[in-house]
Amino acid sequence: MITDLSESQKPLVASYLSIRRAIGFSGLFLPILLGPIGYFVFGIEIQDNMSAYYHTPLRDGFVGIVCAIGIFLYCYRGYDWIENWTANLGCVFALFLAFCPLDQKADPLQQTSLIGWAHVASGGAFFLILAFYSLHHFPSARHANIEAEPHEVVRDFTYKASGTVILLALVSMGIYLFFLPTSIKATADKYNALFWLEWIALWSFAAAWLMKGRTIFTDIAIDLLAFSHDRFRNRKSISTEKTTV
């Protein structure tokens, strides 16, 4: 807890938490900018995927936010060299996403340029990095993680749930791209299925980073979940005791 630290340590920890929050808010805001704001403010139709916005007037917004996430990851330092290199790789893949656009109006698996294929590969690797953070780096059970957080059981469950949702979204994207019959895929394209799957993955990643950054509204949510969890455990314990008696 920040309140348990010396006065000289508090600014450093606050800055550290600020980087986590910046990463989380960037992931939270990106799909809102591209989707609702792009549609209602700039009149841009919802695109097949977020990368397609590079070829719209929102290109600077897409590139800017993805670059910001990359730079924040580069500035982020974890508890050991594995976490540091995870952040560095996340930065590299984010910058590739920003500066290696998809071919215009092309299916992600039908790229004609090396740059387009670099974007596709970087996108998959970037989401895997995000899932790895939620599943491996953030939970308190990891021996290198010495950061005390309130309601660790509930937080660890939420981190892992976030990582699992990201992986499920990735698997769904893979099924969509590789295995869906052409007729079904054409129907899914009408509803921009890939865009919404990417939105789900981004918000799952954002939730984990905002929680790790001890953002107020995520702490409130954790407190409510912990209260419900404790109530359930107490009721279960009382029920077991009555049954035993």
Q: What's the domain count of the chain?
A: 1
Whether 245 is in a domain gets the answer: no
The average pLDDT across 66-78 equals 93
Whether 169 is in a domain gets the answer: yes
Domain that holds residue 112: 2-213
Per-residue pLDDT reduced to its tens digit, 122-164: 999 999 999 999 999 998 766 556 677 778 889 999 999 999 9
Angle among Cα 214, 217, 220 to the nearest 5 degrees reads 85
Angle among Cα 144, 148, 152 to the nearest 5 degrees reads 95
Whether 106 is in a domain gets the answer: yes
* Lowest mean pLDDT across 2-6, 20-24, 46-50: 2-6
Task: Provide the token pair at 117.
Answer: 């294929």
Give pTM, 2 decimals.
Answer: 0.87
Per-residue pLDDT reduced to its tens digit, 94-128: 999 999 999 998 889 889 999 999 999 999 999 99
* Maximum Cα interatomic distance, the chain, rounded to a whole number of Å: 72
User: In this structure, which amino acid lies at residue 176?
Assistant: Y
Contact 1, 148 (CB under 8 A): yes
Closest CA to 130 of 30, 55, 223, 230: 30
Contact 88, 73 (CB under 8 A): yes
Contact 196, 3 (CB under 8 A): no
List helix spans (H) across 76-192. 81-99, 114-132, 152-178, 182-190
The shares of helix, strand and coil residues in the chain, as percent rounded to the nearest 5, are 75, 0, 25
Does residue 105 come out as left (phi exceeding 0), alpha (psi in the -120 to 50 range) or beta?
left
